[in-house]
Structure 1
Amino acid sequence: MPTIKEVSELAGVSQATVSRVMNGSDRVTDATRKRVEAAMQRLGYRPNSAAQSLASNRTNAIGMVVSELQGPFYGPMMAGVEDVLRRARKHLIIASGHGEEERERDAIEFLINRQVDGLILLVERIDDAELLRLNERVPVFLINHHVTQLHQRTTWLNNELGGYRATRYLIEHGHQRIACVTGQMWKQDAQERYQGYRRAMQEAGLPIDDDWVIHSFFEFEGGYQAFETLQQRKLDCTAIFASNDEMAFGILEAADNHNVAVPDQLSVIGFDNIYTANYVKPKLTTMNFPMYEMARSSAENALAAVYQKRPIQEVVYEPTLVERQTVRQL
């Protein structure tokens, strides 16, 4: 069985350099790294991960908690984190919290028990005080959740600006009777997108009536039910801002069932720009949520802070408009 000494001799480097390559250290040049990797491959050398962990007090693994392990939103998030970690020769361990406090807590404890070197969290129910206590046990990096004391480790989307821009786009197209369908209001992003809607309406001097705001939930059925509620209230709205794309799809389906033509009779704008937004009919106008890019930024911050001991800072993204076919000019 080949040894690290044989690898170092074949590569013409010290054993310490071979160890640095195996541990993903940035203190090794690309040329040296390639030479060591070629020697390892030629000899068929496989590092002992347990021995590496004991020697470095690292597992070379980052844990990640998401709400779900499926769907068009969390898939790109998980892929973005893994792409960055894999290139740095680190591993990703994923657990889901399903948006429930105890399950989120269990997922976090599961990962800590696996001795991950850091945690990337997309949690919804764990409060700020608990996140701060958790950060004392293992470095925590947050996606789209604001904790003042952890702001440098946060990657987030300006949801308020996105809600404002979406509503402003409808106003600029001549709409004044604009309904808003929100997600669950205990969620930070739902609150912020709703605040953006309110800011745009107030800035344009348009009244905000509670009857025009439907507090629903971030799923297809949430949008479908919201449209039915608007119909029952007999509100003559010309446009709807849906706080995510899945709700917008429910609105499109319900509108079709009521023979309400989109966009001729009703304009609809969503939020997230999940990949299916380009395949519904008509294609959905929406605000882009750069999920993959945000996840990559969070992973890069985790690598820098945990393994390279470099200072990091929060990363803020702005949602951008994706114009398609569901909004018309009045």
Structure 2
Amino acid sequence: MATIYEVSKLAGVSLATVSRVLNKNTPVREETRLKVLAAVEKLGYQPNSVAQSLASNRSNSIGIVVPELNGPFFGTLLSDIENRFRQAGKHVIIAAGHSDEKLEKDSIAFLQSRNCDALILHVEAVSDDYLVELMQKKVRFVLINRFVAPLYDRCITLNNQHGGYLATRHILEHGHRHIGYISGPMWKHDADQRYKGHIRALTEFGLEPSEQRFYEGDYHEKSGETGARILLENDPSITALVCANDEMAAGALTAARELGRELPADLSIMGFDNVNFSHYTHPKLTTVNYPVGGMGEMAAQLILKRVYDQKVDAIQTVFEPRVIERCSVGPAPDEA
């Protein structure tokens, strides 16, 4: 295996110059850089990442904690984060917290033990106080989909309440007044905020929320199917269902068809997230766009700027949702 000394000798430059070229942390004349890279290629030299880490006090790796590794939502998030870091010559290490306080803390501790230069956290169970303590311990991290006031400058968030408002207002503007709502787990901040937006839209149209038209799901498809079945069987007058994410909306579509509802002629269904499969449901799902990929890329850019001193485009910390109109929402049956 070739060594850095052999690269130095073949390129005719010092060890320090080879190190500067490989670490990309100090400007080097283009002619010199090309000679070093040519020597690296000819010798098949592979830099020792451990030695580089010790020399630079950097591992060039970023840890990511997400609630789960399956599903289209987190797949998109992780893919866009990894792609942005790969472009910058960095690597990611991923752990799942499963929305459990102990597992989230264990995942964060594991990533710290791997000497990650920074963390991206999509965590739901750990307390705000715990996250503030991490900051006080000088842990470098960015939060996604969560706002903690003392950490405002490291939070990348979506205006979830406005998204919930837009979803229900879209249904109301189509004439629907008998509306069921399938929420995410209400202990989660985003589910709570989306439901508050739903209530705000109902109030704006002079309607009162009804416990009989509310079902608390878990953001997974099966709970959307179960919730839709319960709501529609208990109250056949419901003409529209607002679902707090697309996975539950997909389950609701299945239940509605099995109950003999024609979509959207006598039942409209609204989603939230705009994940990839929403283009392919039948009917295609009207939903609220959650730019999760863009938010992940923005979190990566924030770390590249603050941890690695790289020049990046302007940082956006708050993202706004918007309605994506497709085919699953139609006029209320009595106004069709």
Over the residues paired in the alignment, what is the CA RMSD in angstroms? 2.4
Closer/same/farther in 2, CA of residues 33 and 195 from structure 1, 3 Å limit:
farther
> What is the distance in 1 between the residues matched to 2:296 and 2:216?
28
- Conservation of the 8 A alpha-carbon contact between 2:171 and 2:240: yes
What is the CA-CA distance between 1:211 and the residue it aligns to?
Answer: 2.1
Any idea what the Cα deviations from partners look like across 1:120-155, whole Å, max 9, x if unmatched? 011110111111222324201111011111111111
Closer/same/farther in 2, CA of residues 36 and 83 from structure 1, 3 Å limit:
farther
Amino acid at match of 1:319: P
User: Which ranges in structure 2 are unaligned for 5 or more consecutive residues?
Assistant: none
> What is the distance in 1 between the residues matched to 2:37 and 2:60?
18
> What is the distance in 2 between the residues matched to 1:93 and 1:30?
33
- Conservation of the 8 A alpha-carbon contact between 1:144 and 1:156: yes
Residue of structure 2 equivalent to 1:246: 247
1:139 has 2:140 as partner: yes
Any idea what the Cα deviations from partners look like across 1:264-294, whole Å, max 9, x if unmatched? 1111110011111111211111111112111
Match of 1:328 among 327, 330, 333: 330
Q: Percent identity?
A: 45
1:76 has 2:76 as partner: yes
> What is the distance in 1 between the residues matched to 2:159 and 2:82?
24
What is the CA-CA distance between 1:39 and the residue it aligns to?
Answer: 3.9
> Which moves more between the two structures, 208-217 or 11-20?
11-20
Residue of structure 1 equivalent to 2:212: 211
Partner of 1:180: helix, strand, or coil?
A: strand
User: Which ranges in structure 1 are unaligned for 5 or more consecutive residues?
Assistant: none
> What is the distance in 1 between the residues matched to 2:26 and 2:301?
13
Amino acid at match of 1:128: D
Q: TM-score, normalised by structure 1?
A: 0.91
Residue of structure 1 equivalent to 2:100: 100
What is the CA-CA distance between 1:74 and the residue it aligns to?
Answer: 0.8
Residue of structure 2 equivalent to 1:231: 232
1:153 has 2:154 as partner: yes
> What is the distance in 1 between the residues matched to 2:153 and 2:191?
23
- Conservation of the 8 A alpha-carbon contact between 1:242 and 1:270: yes
Closer/same/farther in 2, CA of residues 297 and 313 from structure 1, 3 Å limit:
closer
> Which moves more between the two structures, 257-266 or 222-231?
222-231
Closer/same/farther in 2, CA of residues 215 and 10 from structure 1, 3 Å limit:
same
Matches within 5 A, 1:1-330: 2-4=2-4, 7=7, 15-25=15-25, 36-135=36-135, 136-308=137-309, 315-330=317-332
- Conservation of the 8 A alpha-carbon contact between 1:168 and 1:200: yes
Q: TM-score, normalised by structure 2?
A: 0.90
> What is the distance in 2 between the residues matched to 1:240 and 1:122?
28
> Which moves more between the two structures, 238-247 or 23-32?
23-32
- Conservation of the 8 A alpha-carbon contact between 2:214 and 2:231: no
> What is the distance in 1 between the residues matched to 2:233 and 2:225?
13
> What is the distance in 2 between the residues matched to 1:156 and 1:239?
28
> What is the distance in 2 between the residues matched to 1:29 and 1:205?
69
